[in-house]
Structure 1
Amino acid sequence: MNVPEYVAIDPASAALLVHWPDGTVGRLPFAELRSACMCAQCRKRKLDGRAPSQPPNVQLLDARPSGYGLQLVFDDGHERGIFPWTYLERLARGARHTAGDQEPGTQPICTDLDA
């Protein structure tokens, strides 16, 4: 399993930044993450042909390490979904770029992610 070195919430770009060991960074927009939630409630809505309910400008408030991934907390009150590292990596695959310095205005929120 590929575990990131750290993740950071970037409010300025409304994205979660995932810094991978190979030096790339995945930039995952908050709205895309909210839509990609695979918790039971969101999966049920998708199976019923309904889109997950979310405000258009949903914000990510917190990302809590949960062993095999991150539990994401959104400002619409949704915090049921745990996003496994492999799922985050798949979502970020098309959004990676080479990491230079840390993105301005961001702080790593999770740095001990192997635990």
Structure 2
Amino acid sequence: MRVDVFVVEQDCPYPELDGRDTEPDALHLWYERDGAVAAYLRVLAEPDGGARIGRVCTSPDARGAGLAGRLIDAALAEIGDRRTVLGAQSHLTDFYARHGFRPDGPGYLEDGIPHTPMVRD
């Protein structure tokens, strides 16, 4: 599903499989519908002891059901009070702000899509 959303739908031809999925501390959370992944995210350990949430996506047919928000809440429950960062697509900063994140630096382009670095202390 990540390739379908990030590479195909968003037209970002990049190597989506970055080798970090198999890191010992990587945490993968997802919801399924009818045996298929409907929403997904991963949590990675940061060198400073914090965490990074990334690859947050929802399949087109499951959007609007609140699955991504539920996954963020589940990830934050696992992370606890550790500093957490993410690179939000800029049009989603309000979504992440509802989960306690705030902008943390200047915006940037990633694969032609505006992003905003965000942090939750």
TM-score class normalised by the smaller sequence: under 0.3
Q: Bigger relative contact order, structure 1 or 2, given CA contacts below 8 A and separation 6+?
A: 1
User: Is the helix fraction higher in 1 or 2?
Assistant: 2
- What's the TM-score, normalizing by structure 1? 0.28
